[in-house]
């Protein structure tokens, strides 16, 4: 799960998916190095992308940042939920958006 700063959306989405998991593990990262540095989130690395079966981004901005930093070699595994950066971590509204938009 990838959002910008790895603080609200991706953390919540990974938590939800790990609750519903049938043995798979989901992690969260941020696509913006600057935002991760400011907010204390974990920035996505090339190793993370290589390891992931699916790369689920919250917004197209996250997709663009991954492609800008790491190229297009991960396009076949990138999905975008189009969830805007307006929700607080673990908010009911955010959880509803994630559950409505993700195929688990």
pLDDT tens by residue, 47-98: 999 999 999 999 999 999 999 999 999 999 999 999 999 999 999 999 999 9
Domain of 73? Answer: 2-101
pLDDT for 104 equals: 67
Spatial neighbors of 6 by CB under 8 A, at least 6 apart, are 28, 29, 30, 36, 39, 41, 42, 43
The structural domain count of the chain equals: 1
| pTM of this structure | 0.94
pLDDT for 22 equals: 75
- Residue whose structure tokens are 């969830």: 83
The CATH number covering residue 26 comes to 3.40.50.2300
């Amino acid at each position: 799960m990838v959002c910008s700063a790895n603080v609200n959306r991706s953390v919540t989405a990974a938590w939800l998916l790990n609750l519903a998991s049938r043995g798979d593990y989901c992690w969260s990262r941020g696509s913006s190095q600057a935002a991760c540095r400011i907010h204390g989130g974990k920035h996505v690395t090339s190793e993370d992308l290589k390891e992931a079966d699916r790369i689920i981004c919250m917004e197209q901005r996250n997709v663009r940042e991954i492609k800008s930093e790491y190229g297009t070699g991960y396009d076949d595994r990138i999905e975008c939920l189009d969830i805007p950066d307006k929700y607080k971590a673990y908010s009911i509204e955010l959880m509803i958006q994630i559950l409505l938009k993700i195929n688990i």
